Chains A and B, each alone.
Chain A
Amino acid sequence: MITRLHRIWASLPLRTKGLVVVAIPLLPLVVTTGILSRGDRRVEAAQDAQTRVFETRDQLEAALTLLIDADTAVRGYLLTGRPDQLDPYWRAQRTLPVALARLDALTAAEPVIHGPLLALAPVIRQRMRALDRLVRLGPPGAPGEQPDYDRALDRSKALMDEIRARIASLGRLAGRLESERRAQTRAALRDVLEVAAAGGVFGLIGGVIAMLLFTSGVSNRVGLIAAAADSLARGEPAQAVPDQEGDEVGRLGLRLQEAFALLLARDDERRRAHEDFDRFFEVSPVMLCIAGGDGYFRRVNPAWTARLGWTAEELLAVPYADRAHPEDREALLQELSRLLSGRSMQAYEGRYTCRDGSYRWLRWVAFHHRDEQLIYGVVRDVTERRRAVAALRASDARLQAILNNSPAAIYVKDLDGRFVLVNREFERLFGRTQAQLQGLTDEALHDPAEAARIRRDDLEILRAGRPRELEERVPFADGEHVYMSIKFPLDDGTGAPVALCGISVDITARTHAEESVRTLNHALSLRMADLSVANRELEAFSYSVSHDLRAPLRHVAGFAALLTQTSSDALGEDGRRYVRTIAESADRMGRLIDDLLAFSRMGRVDLRRAVVPLRPLVDDVLAELRADVVGRAVDWTVHAMPSVYADPAMLRQVLLNLVDNALKYTRPRERAEIEIGSRPAEDGFVAVYVADNGVGFDMQYADKLFGVFQRLHRADQFEGTGIGLANVRRIVQRHGGRTWAEGAVDRGACFWVTLPVTEGRA
């Protein structure tokens, strides 16, 4: 309710508010004034009545006095006979009617007195007539008339007494009336005073209310708006104006707020514009500068520091032309003076010192702001571009050299088939220079049929838009030449062909060579057939070796044994030794054959590869060889090893051979030391080694170690057929790996093999 009233009050227009504010204290005053004016009339009336009563009493007194004076005068006249004694009487005679008329008028509104007064008037007039008669009688001259006097006097006296009584009564009445009227007057006055006081109080209250309304409805709000306006004027950040009521103040607030917003937006816009500019200036990779007419920079952007290394302070401290390259300084200064004299500056390129002492090529574009005497410069680093241009020129020269030194004939023809560019070989071939060929077509160089053929090919290539290889046979004085030509369209960068380029290589000689190659190939394929026959024969051979060669050996060994059994005694000591040697040799040859066959088979059988963890395989091999080391002291060191991708059976053979070798060649050692481990090798491979502290070998024979039947020791030193390491190498090579050995005589040996770690290698 109160809020609503407040809202209504706030939304009232200011004029109405003013009216309300003035009316509230004025209304009680007006009402009071009205009431007072009426009270005043009442007081006046009461006062009039009081005055009249007062005057009535005076008039009554005056009338009585006149009567008494008249009576006294008449008596004096009668006694003295002097007429002058009658003056008061005459005066009474004249004034009494006037007094009576006045009394009548005065008491007309007072019926209480008016009645008795009306009754008094005839008595007074009677009295006056009585006096009149006495006057007319005159002073007593004649004794005979004495009795009349007495009677007249007596009557006069009686009348006089009656008048006195009546006036006295009237006087009392008037007195009462007067006090009555006085009380009335006082009451009326009191009423007026009370009304006035009440009016004053109401007026005061109204004034206070009006003041409060004015304060809350107008002055406070105006004050707030004024404060906001003040703060805005002081440039403090504008605040929201807390008034949006419907009246003028509210609108003022609203407008002010809009003005604030507008101001803020403008401010923001200006600031943003400034920031935008600053940001551009700061982040621009192009060097921007503002310079004064005095030759000093005023402001430079960070691109300068990034490009040249100078800090902004360093750049601002020295006239900018000072840092131009000595050879370019004059030109820069000339350009600047031209600029300052009002002419526009041509783009100027020159070298400029960097902080590290090097020079960079800068391209200056500037304009002169005459009003501010400032030069605004946009400066680009064109060092790279100049380098690129130079490189392009070099590259052009290079390409030209390549073209000219090419053994192939190279030419470019436009879409109409006219030569645009030819290289030196082409010039040589046709005996004409590029200048002579300019604008000519193939018709100038070939017979019409050949020229038409070439033109047809060219158009087809241009239409297809793809390079084409073709063999061209061109008749020359020394016979027909064969050319392998590649022709392709040159486009303008968008794919539209603009020219056709051809590269023709004289393959006359090559064609001949190709023929001989074909012949050779045929011969080779015949040889290949022979070879595969030979290979099959080799297989048959090894089959028969395994079967046919071993049989006689077995027989030698078998019968030698039987000979020992049956004729031991007859043989004698030497005989028995011979027979034993025969058996041993046969046995040895059997092993050689077996090893050789195994080696040959190793090269033929398919690899069955899988991921093989090395460590378990090594453990397996060591377990197998355990029987061989009984009674020997062997220190094994086996390191962790990765998995490899290999044929498990063959890999086992490799490890078995290597470890077996190590055991064999450490036999002379009191304590054999054998170490097995791995190292990362080339991409995708791991190198596995078996090292021992055995008798070692001379490195100059290192390559022989892996050959078939190659041995570095005598058979009676270390047994073996000399095939084990050959097998190792063959297996490792089939896996794509390498084998090598390191060692020194009596210093041990280390054998290395590399094996693929993952599928897809080797």
Chain B
Amino acid sequence: MIAEVKRILLAEDDPNDVELTLAALAEHRLANEVDVVRDGEQALEYLECRGAYAGRPGGNPALLLLDLKMPKRDGLEVLQAIRRHDALRMIPVVMLTSSREEQDLIRSYELGVNAYVVKPVAFPDFVHAVRQIGIFWAVINQAPPPHPHRRPM
């Protein structure tokens, strides 16, 4: 049984990483559902459907794969902005990063990240990790409702 696959947004500035990530997802036929943005600013434009993404099909992605180190606005800033945004705050966010630094981990969780994954150096491990993430969040996990309303105050 193949469950409904929702879109995944990948925010990653490094084209090599983008390619490897897509390659890993492609092995599990998840690649077609991935939209890629190349920095934090683009990620927010995408999510808020403005700028270059003003006319994109509506709806939040089922998962945001977020790199920490990106030009303009980095992953943590993007995460902070999303969590403060009424329409976006429920989007599942997984940090996919090279950093093992404790300070990054702590900061990410403080800002309400859903998962934090360090990219393994060995490619088979990397593939395995990305695949797990993709299947879990895009397939197994029940996403938040598509049009979240402002919570009654």
- Chain A residues with a Cβ under 8 A of chain B: 543, 546-548, 550-551, 553-555, 557-562, 583, 586-587, 589-591, 594, 597, 601, 605
Contact = CB atoms under 8 A, between A and B. Distances in A.
B122 A557 contact: yes
Interface in B99-145: 99-102, 119-124, 126-127
Contact of B99 (A547, A557, A559, A560): A547
B95 to A, nearest CB: 12
Interface string B77-109: 000000000000000000001111110000000
Contacts of B69: 547-548
Contacts of B122: 557, 583, 586-587, 590
A558 B100 contact: no
Contacts of A594: 100
Contacts of B127: 561
Contacts of B14: 551, 555
A37 B14 CA distance: 177
Q: Which 7 pairs across A and B sit closest by C-beta, in order of nearness?
A: A590-B121, A561-B123, A558-B20, A555-B16, A558-B123, A550-B98, A547-B98
Contacts of A562: 20, 23, 123
A583 B99 CA distance: 20
Contacts of A583: 122-123
A560 B20 CA distance: 11
Contacts of B45: none
A267 B16 CA distance: 123
Chain A binding surface, main DSSP class: helix
B69 to A, nearest CB: 6
B63 interface: no
A543 B119 CA distance: 15
A587 B121 contact: yes
B80 to A, nearest CB: 19
B68 interface: yes
A547 B126 contact: no
Given A558-B16, A559-B20, A550 B123 contact: no
B107 to A, nearest CB: 12
A555 B20 contact: yes
Contacts of B99: 543, 546-547
Task: Select the residue from A551, A553, A601 with max chain B CB neighbours within 10 A.
Answer: A551
A562 B20 CA distance: 9
Given A557-B123, A590-B121, A597 B20 contact: no
Interface residues of B, number: 21
A560 B121 contact: no
B126 A546 contact: no
A561 B121 contact: no
Given A559-B20, A605-B102, 6 more contacts: A547-B98, A550-B121, A555-B20, A561-B124, A562-B20, A586-B121
B100 to A, nearest CB: 6
A557 B17 CA distance: 11
Nearest to A587: B122
A446 B120 CA distance: 85
A561 B122 CA distance: 9
Contacts of B98: 546-548, 550-551, 554
Contacts, number: 67
Contacts of B120: 554
Given A547-B99, A594-B100, A554 B68 contact: no
A597 B104 CA distance: 14
Contacts of B23: 558, 562
A554 B100 contact: no
Contacts of A546: 98-101
B101 A560 contact: no
Contact of A547 (B20, B68, B124): B68
Nearest to A588: B121
Interface in B3-57: 14, 16-17, 20, 23
11 contacts: A547-B69, A547-B101, A550-B98, A550-B121, A551-B16, A555-B20, A557-B122, A558-B123, A594-B100, A597-B100, A601-B102
Nearest to B15: A555
B101 A554 contact: no
Q: Which of B97, B100, B101, B123 has the most CB of A within 10 A?
A: B123
A548 B127 CA distance: 20
A640 B74 CA distance: 52
Contacts of A548: 69, 98
Contacts of A555: 14, 16-17, 20
A655 to B, nearest CB: 22
A551 B123 CA distance: 12
Most chain B CB within a 10 A radius of its CB, from A555, A591, A605: A555
A543 B69 CA distance: 11
A682 B100 CA distance: 38
Contact of A560 (B100, B102, B123): B123
Nearest to B69: A547
A265 B122 CA distance: 113
A587 B125 CA distance: 11
Contacts of A559: 16, 20
Contacts of A601: 102
A481 B102 CA distance: 60
A579 to B, nearest CB: 11
A583 B69 CA distance: 24
Given A555-B16, A562-B23, A547 B119 contact: no
B76 to A, nearest CB: 13
A654 to B, nearest CB: 20
Contacts of A551: 14, 16-17, 98, 119
B66 to A, nearest CB: 14
Nearest to A555: B16
Contacts of A553: 121
Contacts of A554: 17, 20, 98, 119-121, 123, 126
Contacts of B100: 546, 594, 597
Interface in B57-71: 68-69
Nearest to A549: B98
Contacts of B126: 554, 557-558
Residue among B68, B101, B119 with most chain A CB within 10 A: B101
Contacts of B101: 543, 546-547
A505 B148 CA distance: 85
Nearest to A598: B100
A610 B119 CA distance: 34
A374 B31 CA distance: 130
